[in-house]
Amino acid sequence: MIDVPFDRETIQRLIDELEIDMTRGTIREMNLLVNAAEKEFNTRFVRMEFGVPGLEASQLAARAEAQMLIEEGVSNTYPPFQGTPELKQAGSDFCKAFMDLDIPAECVIPTVGSMQGCFIAVGLAGFHNPEKDTILFLDPGFPVNKLQTKFYGLESISMDLKDFRGSDLIREVDRLCTEHAVGGCMWSSPNNPAWIVLSEDELRGLAEVFDRHGVIAIEDMAYFGMDFREDYSVPFEPPFQPTIARYTDRVFIILSSSKLFSYAGQRCGLTLIPPGFAQQRYPALRDRFTKGRILDAFIHGGIYPLTSGVSQGSQKGLATLLRAAVDRTYNPWLEVREYQRRAGFMKRQFQENGFYLVYDKDCEKPLADGFYFTIAYPGMNGSELVKELIHYGISAITLKVTGSTKEGLRACVSLFAQDQFEDLAHRLKRFHEDHPIQVPAVAASGS
């Protein structure tokens, strides 16, 4: 196999041919470049640019789906817009078992991926009050959510969680909500890409600020329970996944099946709306979402015009997985702990070769090893680093793409395979040898 670094002229030719702007280094662009480079050099990259599941989906779901489609012949009927009763009830029970929250089945709404739930929630938060058309993002975050805000023509502002945690976070959010027309605030927990989890104190403080300013929270739990410092996998027993819904009603909780259940291809997620909030009416929503009551606006003004529901096969599959988790016949967290193992190895390799973690702490605690981590190399900004690593057969995206104000890269562990451990170690060693770190004169003199 060809050794690293790859020929620089060839890489530059590929960049020029594909018209890739390396200063942006978006997921799509990196993907194009890496596909081309893998072909050109006949080699496999250590691919860290994609946030896609790297594990097999459970056969439980596939069998339940197939059986339903064959035996019940539902393919010719539209699904109920509000979701199938079976999935709504399974979602409600899952929520009780693993969050200790009472959300009735009526307020559990299947969506086409959690992405659709995010999209509708952003719209409702951004239009519920004509004087509050701004979404505040607790960054770094999932880049697509900002595209959703743009799609609606809403404003967005952002703050970086690296700079504000604990009481500083509450104060800063309070300041931003005072100075800007914030209608909604969105974050993911565990966070894509820093793997930060907001603490109970932070959630309590944020809830108080949001209630005071009339801000709707959008709590994206795409990586539900995947903070592996805790074991959230025992139903009906603490610890429970932290949620702001313990402190305020005004929240859309977004659940994804893509990562926890590796069920991304079937595009089925859930949005949970606490019942008090589900019944709230906002007359301003009638214009765009046809209904003023939050639950109706979500279903009839959001789900219906976008996709007219979610395929019944995938709802059956997800209902089966949730039910099995609640009944303790299937533990998805045992499977996704594979990501923890991969992250542990990869982080160690990077750190032994001169890299450092950009987001390195969760308040004062070490972060869990999870689906993503963030890295930087002394003396290089994010776009320089992402481009340089390409020559060493390693791909990632810049933190800039995620809304971070820090220099560095987002690394996703999901596609890292067992047979690439040696490759990664070798490539990083070469990278480190070829890019000696300049030790500042003061430090070098030991004073």
**For binding to ligand PLP (CB under 6 A), which residues are involved?**
51, 113-115, 118, 142, 188, 192, 220, 222, 256, 258, 264, 269
Strand segments, DSSP code E, in 130-263 are 134-139, 155-160, 182-188, 216-221, 251-255
Query: Token pair 């402190």 is at which residue?
Result: 247
Considering beta carbons, is residue 118 or 273 the nearer one to ligand PLP?
A: 118
Query: Token pair 């590929």 is at which residue?
Result: 14
Give yes or no for a contact between 300 and 290, defined as CB atoms under 8 angstroms apart.
yes
Considering beta carbons, is residue 129 or 149 the nearer one to ligand PLP?
A: 149
CB of 57 to ligand PLP, least distance (A): 13
Give yes or no for a contact between 284 and 79, defined as CB atoms under 8 angstroms apart.
no
Give residue 110's identity as a one-letter amino acid code: P
CB of 303 to ligand PLP, least distance (A): 14
CB of 200 to ligand PLP, least distance (A): 20
Q: Report residue 339: phi and psi, to 5°.
A: -65, -35
CB of 81 to ligand PLP, least distance (A): 19
Considering beta carbons, is residue 220 or 423 the nearer one to ligand PLP?
A: 220
CB of 206 to ligand PLP, least distance (A): 17
Considering beta carbons, is residue 51 or 301 the nearer one to ligand PLP?
A: 51
CB of 256 to ligand PLP, least distance (A): 3
Considering beta carbons, is residue 84 or 114 the nearer one to ligand PLP?
A: 114
Give yes or no for a contact between 223 and 332, defined as CB atoms under 8 angstroms apart.
no
CB of 400 to ligand PLP, least distance (A): 17
Considering beta carbons, is residue 226 or 375 the nearer one to ligand PLP?
A: 226
CB of 222 to ligand PLP, least distance (A): 3
Alpha-helical regions (H) of 180-301: 200-213, 275-278, 285-289, 294-298
Nearest-CA neighbor of 270 among 417, 430, 91, 103? Answer: 91
Nearest-CA neighbor of 237 among 341, 118, 99? Answer: 99
CA dihedral (44, 48, 53, 55) positive or negative: positive
CB of 438 to ligand PLP, least distance (A): 35
CB of 113 to ligand PLP, least distance (A): 3
Considering beta carbons, is residue 399 or 428 the nearer one to ligand PLP?
A: 399
Considering beta carbons, is residue 195 or 277 the nearer one to ligand PLP?
A: 195
Per DSSP, the chain holds a count of helices (H) and strands (E) of 17, 15
Considering beta carbons, is residue 103 or 412 the nearer one to ligand PLP?
A: 412
Give the DSSP letter string of 332-363. Answer: HHHHHHHHHHHHHHHHHHHHHTT-EESS-EET
Give yes or no for a contact between 369 and 344, defined as CB atoms under 8 angstroms apart.
yes
Considering beta carbons, is residue 117 or 382 the nearer one to ligand PLP?
A: 117
CA distances (Å), origin 202, targets 242, 318, 438: 10, 31, 39
Residue nearest to ligand PLP (CB): 113
- Whole-number Å distance between alpha carbons of 271 and 255: 6
Element (H, E) at 110: strand 108-111
For residues 24, 25, 26, 32, the Cα torsion angle rounded to the nearest 10 degrees is 130
